[in-house]
Amino acid sequence: MTDLESLLNDRLAAAFAAVAGEPADPVVRRSQHADFQADGALPLARRLGRAPRDIAADALGRADLADLVATAEISGPGFINLKLRGDALAGLLAAMSGDERLGVPAASAPETVIIDYSHPNVAKEMHAGHLRSTVIGDAVARTLDWLGHDIRRANHVGDWGTPFGMLIEHLLDLGETEAAHELSVGDLNGFYQAARVKFDADPVFAERSRLRVVALQSGDETTLRLWRLLVDESEKYFLAVYDKLGVTLTAADFCGESYYNDMLAPVVDTLDGLGLLQESDGAQCAFPQGFAGRDGQPTPIIVRKRDGGYGYGATDLAAIRYRTQELKATRLLYVVGSPQSRHLEMVYQTAREAGWLAEPARAVHVGFGQVLGADGKKLASRAGQTVKLMELLEEAVTRAAAIVAEKNPELDADTRAEVARMVGIGAIKYVDLSSDRIKDYTFSWERMLSFSGDTGAYLQYTHARIKSIFRRGGVGPDRAAVVLLDSPAERALAMELLGFPAVVADAAQTLQFHRLAGYLQGLAGAYTAFYDNCPVLKADGPTRASRLLLCDLTARVIAQGLGLLGIEAPERM
RNA sequence: GCCCUCGUAGCUCAGGGGAUAGAGCAACGGUUUCCUAAACCGUGGGUCGCAGGUUCGAAUCCUGCCGGGGGCACCA
């Protein structure tokens, strides 16, 4: 019960409801003119035919706020400005300090959540385009997991389809040992491109590849073994990237397209039985309601291609059915780039029409924009090639190491390397999560690795400074200390700290992590003002104990908040 | 052609229908016998793409235009 905003909201909602005779939003917001303002009187004015100031006064008279609010004033056209009691803030903060969960309640109704993210392609390098899905999806997973939901990470790996004919033939040409070596060291692009070149240039190879696809689809044992080899070696490499990136995906989360192979025929049959399929140009198609393409013609999802093979639409539909019917998931999150918005909406609509996506289950596209280079175009290397994710991560750590070595030469080599890893990887994750995910963002090493400003490193630095106080003082926090909020800086810090539960709840619902990032920046700013104005170790007795508690709580909130974003908080840096 | 999305300070970005639109970076000017100056304080800087509309009130909601990006059947 440390969520200040909901407390105020609940109390005022009751008062406004009493005035209005029906439920009414009190419109509680943080305010420049007070701690909070409640603007609920204004929208009611017309409906009730009364002056808004009069309504505000009436609501205030009925509101039970004595234990929380020191002063409440009506201002302007009918805003209620609320200044909170210091002892109320101190009490809430004490409760937060004593709570392992920092005032954030576990979900009252945990649900099974599928998070479909990362989805690299077998025998293809992970590149910058996989970064956002992986980073955002992992933040989703960490956040919902912390709130107590039953999380299923679904790594929908591209491990099936016609390219595997040529890939397997290329593997045979190379020899299994050599091929496995090439794949395991991560030269996936080289492997794929070599196969592609042969496919385009050599008709004999191309024909072998086509026959190999047939063998693969008909379940030929030798072919399947070779296919499995490609998949296994690629997955090993993906896990190395995940380890480098510090995400929670494991080998157990690989659930590629091939996983649904046996479900495709039944899914298509079921759709057909429901009357949802039509033949068009020789293909079996579903035409979900509400989607038109060129010429206003309905746009199909192709579930079965003219050649008899299944399309990705069939796989996506099989996955939905499996997730809601077998796994009993009620929240399906697709962390996929914005361009696929339409396709996903069509899949969801088809699933609804088939009865596989019904309340309380719902599917949400957690979309995101592109990563742009300095030229404003999709991030690419000098030569115009895609940027390998592994190389991007290595460069981030290398650059961070140089900066850490320069800023703090006293760190021993091991610590420096560890800090560089946390800072470099954290920087990449932070830029990705700190602006509205639906927008594109511009990639800039200089900006993201700056140690001041809106960066991960600044938050990590704030955390490290706090930890330094405890080290320097040779003390630990007394989490049961009496909280004193005598100075404006202490009071302002308290207000920020108490905002944490609401921000986490918002992030869990909207999956807009930039609001959490922005909150942490605000908290770090409030802490720095406190740090400058309120000596901690030099203070005495209860003041010192209270300030140590504030330091401890701030460090815990920053570390937890960063943790939800998948960013580590070093003890020193 | 249709659909989606974005357009806010020089740059990168926040802004859940509410008061005088905010941060960070960059620029300029300050602050250190003090727990990490990797910091802090101050100053300047905006017809919120344009035009209508809804509303007591619009950067926010609606419509139309302009501009950038993306998508529109057998790749996923």
Cα–Cα separations (whole angstroms), residue A540 to A529, A535, A536, A546 = 20, 10, 8, 10
**CA→C1' distance for A398 and B30 (Å):** 35
Is pLDDT at A40 greater than 70 in this prediction? yes
CA nearest to nucleotide B20 C1': residue: A32
Q: Are A16 and A44 in contact (CB under 8 A)?
A: yes
Confidence of residue A1 (pLDDT cuts 50, 70, 90): very low
If you average pLDDT over residues A152-165, what whole number do you get?
94
- A452 CA, B32 C1': Å apart: 19
Nucleotides of strand B under 7 angstroms from a protein beta carbon = 1-7, 12-19, 22-26, 34-41, 55-57, 69-76
pLDDT of residue A187: 77
* Order of strands, sheet of A301-304, starting from the edge strand that comes earlier in the sequence: A277-280, A283-286, A301-304
Q: Which residue has the least CA–C1' distance to nucleotide B14?
A: A518
| Pick from A108, A456, A153: nearest CA to A323 | A153
Nucleotide nearest A465 (Cα, C1'): B36
Q: What is the pLDDT of residue A384?
A: 75
Q: Report percent pLDDT > 90 for chain A.
A: 81
> Cβ distance A422 to A568 under 8 Å?
yes
Mean pLDDT value of segment A60-73? 94
CA at A267, C1' at B57: how many angstroms apart?
Answer: 53
Residue A498 has pLDDT above 50, yes or no: yes
pLDDT at A125: 87
DSSP string, A158-180: B--STHHHHHHHHHHHH-HHHHH
Across the range A209-214, mean pLDDT stands at: 93
- Amino acid at site A107: A
Angle, helix A513-533 to helix A488-497, in steps of 10 degrees: 160
pLDDT-derived band at A60, boundaries 50, 70, 90: very high
The distance (Å) linking the CA of A450 with the C1' of B10 is 20
Structure letter (DSSP) for residue A112? E
Of the options 3.40.1410.10, 3.40.50.1370, 2.40.50.140, 3.30.1360.70, the CATH number for the domain spanning A4-84: 3.30.1360.70
CA of A515 to C1' of B11 (A): 22
Q: Which nucleotide is nearest to A460 (CA to C1')?
A: B38
Confidence of residue A35 (pLDDT cuts 50, 70, 90): very high
Catalogue the E-assigned strands of A241-348. 277-280, 283-286, 301-304, 331-335
Nucleotide nearest to A39 (CA to C1'): B18
β-strand A301-304 against A441-442: which pairing, if any? unpaired
Q: Which two tokens stand for residue A228?
A: 């499995």
Helical pair A413-433 and A221-245, crossing angle rounded to 10 deg: 100
Which nucleotide across the nucleic acid strands is nearest to A304, CA versus C1'?
A: B74
Gyration radius of chain A over CA positions: 28
A290-303 tens-digit pLDDT: 888 777 788 999 99
Q: Which tokens hold the place of A571?
A: 């003890």
Retrieve residue A43's tokens.
């929208």
Poorest-pLDDT segment among A124-128, A214-218, A282-286, A543-547 = A124-128
- In tens, the pLDDT along A431-459 reads 999 999 999 998 999 889 998 889 999 99
Q: Report the greatest alpha carbon distance in chain A.
A: 87
* A535: helix, strand or coil: coil
Report the relative pairing of strands A79-84 and A69-75 from DSSP bridges: antiparallel
- CA A560 / C1′ B75 distance in Å: 41
Give the three-class secondary structure for A28: strand
CA A557 / C1′ B13 distance in Å: 24
pLDDT at A127: 87
pLDDT at residue A517 above 50? yes
User: Which residue approaches B70 most closely, CA to C1'?
Assistant: A339
Tell me: pLDDT of A519 over 50.
Answer: yes
**Running DSSP on this structure, what letter comes out for residue A483?**
P
Instruction: Measure the N-to-C terminal CA separation of chain A; round to a whole number of Å.
Output: 35
State the CB neighbour count (10 A cutoff) for residue A393: 20
Q: A46 or A358: whose pLDDT is higher?
A: A358
- Average confidence score pLDDT of chain A: 93
Q: Which amino acid is at A244?
A: K
For residue A315, give the nucleotide whose C1' atom is nearest its CA.
Answer: B76
Domain boundaries, chain A: 4-84, 163-253
Task: Decide if pLDDT at A259 tops 60.
Answer: yes
Per the listing, tokens 């992992």 go with A138
Bridge partners of residue A80, in order along the sequence? A38, A74
Tokens (6 digits) for A266: 């039944």
CA dihedral A154, A157, A161, A167 (to 10 degrees): -160
Residue A99 (CA) to nucleotide B25 (C1'), in angstroms, measures 37
Supply the ipTM of this predicted assembly.
Answer: 0.95
Q: If DSSP codes are grouped into helix, strand and coil, which group holds residue A573? A: coil
Q: Which nt has its C1' nearest the CA of A298?
A: B73
Query: Which residue is the nearest neighbor of B69, CA to C1'?
Result: A440
Neighbouring CB atoms inside 10 A of A141's CB total 25
What nucleotide is nearest A534 when CA is compared to C1'?
B35
Please tell me which residue lies nearest to nucleotide B16, judged from CA to C1'.
A29
Closest-CA residue to A139 (of A558, A569, A562, A438): A562
The pLDDT score that the predictor gives to residue A290 is 86
User: Residue A172 CA to nucleotide B51 C1', Å?
Assistant: 65
CA distance A86 to A45: 32
Nucleotide nearest to A45 (CA to C1'): B56
Taking alpha carbons only, the member of A180, A514, A119 closest to residue A336 is A119
Q: Is the dihedral of CA A409, A415, A417, A418 positive or negative?
A: negative
| Predicted local confidence at residue A378, as pLDDT | 84
Q: If 0-12 CB within 10 Å is exposed, 13-18 middle and 19+ buried, where does residue A362 land?
A: middle
List, edge to edge, every strand of the sheet that includes A28-30.
A28-30, A36-38, A79-84, A69-75
Residues A380 and A450: their CA atoms lie apart, in Å, by 22
Å from A443 (CA) to B10 (C1')? 19
A435: nt with nearest C1' to CA: B13
Q: How far is the CA of A22 from the C1' of B42 (A)?
A: 49
Quick one: pLDDT at residue A128?
A: 82
Residue A203 pLDDT level (bands cut at 50, 70, 90): very high
- Residue nearest B23, CA–C1′ metric: A454
- Find the Å distance, CA of residue A221 to C1' of nucleotide B76: 26
